């Protein structure tokens, strides 16, 4: 018997669409114990909220997020708004006893993140941060291969997340679409927006990052602010690079920028171990590159694993071997895991507490970029093992 689960999504933008799509599709492909009901969509503009509700089949819409929290019939609050709204909405949702899915990064900074962790743990509500790339099957497979020990001792972890959409100085800061350039709305630039993904995946696969040394740059120093109409200083990092040490002794190097002409969303990682290496590229997200030095020398080489077989992570739920899936599906997997665990009263990874660890790394990288010194990363272990 599946029970209805009433969902209220706050934010009908890019992520509002990926999450709505996931709630709608999840039961078609996964045996989840709930029937998600798209109850309320919330966003800033009434006309757009109404149009979104009609297109996606929401029962109601609102421009006031408090109404989603106050609605006793809503079971899950799903937060898809700019970063500066995550904390207040999540804390209110926790107090109201809602299960919460919150978009990444957890918060503007670790201090805010700590308050969010406190709130969800005090209320005892289910909580998940949407670091969706963990649930791309090839990325999940990489984690399984590492956990099986196939790579042996890990020496290097390197990751890039490259874009090119803010090169023009005419791109404004603030407001719809460009809130990511406004430090008050975003908290930081590429560090919290893009590197947070790379850091989450890296620590999930390779364990905690302990020390960092970072460098940031803001190439365009002033931009017109959409809300004030004035040219104002830019407070975000346009580019960020950092070196780090992991607790397991391996070395990391991470780079992110919105100034890599020709790259729209090039997220790549490579992990080098004693016996084997793994590489992944978001542009070919259904493939995993794997090199195993233990192979016979005459056939040894990088292999490109097409992650489509039924025994590969999540793939048994989709089509037939050889047919691949794409970007949206990671959100369906996330929703399937979240609903499955919710029914069992089990946490789903990454919880707010686990995402706080990523926030600590981001904060340490930004501090290091400012003071030019290596920074120790604050650590707090997860209280319960989440899956």
Contact positions vs ligand NAD (CB under 6 A): 10-16, 42-44, 65, 80-83, 85, 103-104, 130, 132, 176-177, 193
As measured in angstroms, the least distance from the Cβ of 297 to ligand NAD is 41
The CA-atom distances, in angstroms, between 149 and each of 75, 143, 210, 295, 385 are 40, 10, 22, 16, 20
Between CA 145 and CA 137 the distance in angstroms is 12
Task: Kindly state the smallest distance separating residue 132's Cβ from ligand NAD, in Å.
Answer: 5
Cα separation values, 194 from 71, 76, 95, 199, Å: 33, 26, 30, 9
> CB-wise, 52 or 290, nearer to ligand NAD?
52
CB 233 within 8 A of CB 222: yes
Shortest spacing between CB 129 and ligand NAD, in angstroms: 9
Give the distance, in angstroms, between the CA of residue 74 and the centroid of all CA atoms in the same chain: 24
* Nearer to ligand NAD (CB atom), residue 14 or residue 302: 14
Beta strands in the chain (DSSP E): 3-10, 34-42, 60-62, 76-79, 99-103, 127-130, 154-162, 209-217, 222-224, 231-233, 239-246, 251-257, 266-273, 276-281, 287-292, 303-306, 375-376
- Calpha distance 362→357 (Å, rounded): 9
Chain centroid, CA 56 distance in Å: 23
Closest to ligand NAD by CB, 80 or 190: 80
Of residues 21 and 211, the one with the C-beta less far from ligand NAD: 21
**Shortest Cβ distance from residue 118 to ligand NAD (Å)?**
20
Nearer to ligand NAD, 145 or 355 (CB): 355
The least CB distance from residue 182 to ligand NAD, in Å, is: 11
Q: Residue 353 in contact with residue 175, Cβ under 8 Å?
A: no
Residues 6+ apart with CB under 8 A from 100: 76, 77, 78, 79, 90, 93, 94, 120, 125, 126, 127, 128, 352
We find the least distance from the C-beta atom of residue 209 to ligand NAD, in angstroms, to be 20
Is the CB of 85 or the CB of 286 nearer to ligand NAD?
Answer: 85
To ligand NAD, the closest distance from the beta carbon of 178 in angstroms equals: 9
Residue position matching structure tokens 């599709």: 25
**Nearest position to ligand NAD, beta carbon:** 13
Which C-beta is closer to ligand NAD: that of 80 or that of 145? Answer: 80
Nearest to 329 by CA among 146, 337, 321, 56: 337
Minimum distance from CB of 202 to ligand NAD (Å)? 16
Residue of 177, 196, 322, 174 lying closest to 256 (CA atoms): 196
Nearer to ligand NAD, 42 or 198 (CB): 42
């Amino acid at each position: 018997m599946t029970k209805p689960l009433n969902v209220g999504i706050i934010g009908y933008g890019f992520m509002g669409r990926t999450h709505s799509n996931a709630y709608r599709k999840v039961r078609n492909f996964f045996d989840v114990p709930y029937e998600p009901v798209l109850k309320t969509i919330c966003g800033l503009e009434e006309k757009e909220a109404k149009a979104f509700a009609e297109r996606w089949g929401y029962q109601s819409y609102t421009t006031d997020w408090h109404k989603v929290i106050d609605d006793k019939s809503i079971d899950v609050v799903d937060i898809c708004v700019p970063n500066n709204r995550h904390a207040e909405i999540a804390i209110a949702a926790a107090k109201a006893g809602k299960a919460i899915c919150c978009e990444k990064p957890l918060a503007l900074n670790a201090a805010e993140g700590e308050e969010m962790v406190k709130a969800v743990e005090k209320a005892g509500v289910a909580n998940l941060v949407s670091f969706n790339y963990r649930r791309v099957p090839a990325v999940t497979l990489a984690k399984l291969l590492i956990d099986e020990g196939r790579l042996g001792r890990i020496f290097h972890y390197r990751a890039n997340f490259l874009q090119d959409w803010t090169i023009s100085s005419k791109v404004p800061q603030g407001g719809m679409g460009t809130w990511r350039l406004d430090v008050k709305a975003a908290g930081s630039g590429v560090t919290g927006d893009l590197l947070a993904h790379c850091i989450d995946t890296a620590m999930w696969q390779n364990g905690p990052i302990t020390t960092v040394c970072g460098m940031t740059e803001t190439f365009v120093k002033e931009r017109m602010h959409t809300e004030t109409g004035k040219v104002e200083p830019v407070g975000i990092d346009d580019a960020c690079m950092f070196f780090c040490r992991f607790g397991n002794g391996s070395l990391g190097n991470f780079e992110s920028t919105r100034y890599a002409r020709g790259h729209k969303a090039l997220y790549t990682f490579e992990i080098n171990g004693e016996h084997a290496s793994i590489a992944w590229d978001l542009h070919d997200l259904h493939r995993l590159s794997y090199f195993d030095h233990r192979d016979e020398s005459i056939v040894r080489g990088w292999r490109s694993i097409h992650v489509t077989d039924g025994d590969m992570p999540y793939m048994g739920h989709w089509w037939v071997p050889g047919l691949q899936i794409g970007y949206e599906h990671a959100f369906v997997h996330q929703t399937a895991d979240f609903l499955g665990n919710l029914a069992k009263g089990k946490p789903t990874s990454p919880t707010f507490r686990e995402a706080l660890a990523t926030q600590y790394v981001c904060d340490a990288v930004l501090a290091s970029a400012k003071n030019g010194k290596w920074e120790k990363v604050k650590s707090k272990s997860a209280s319960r093992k989440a899956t």
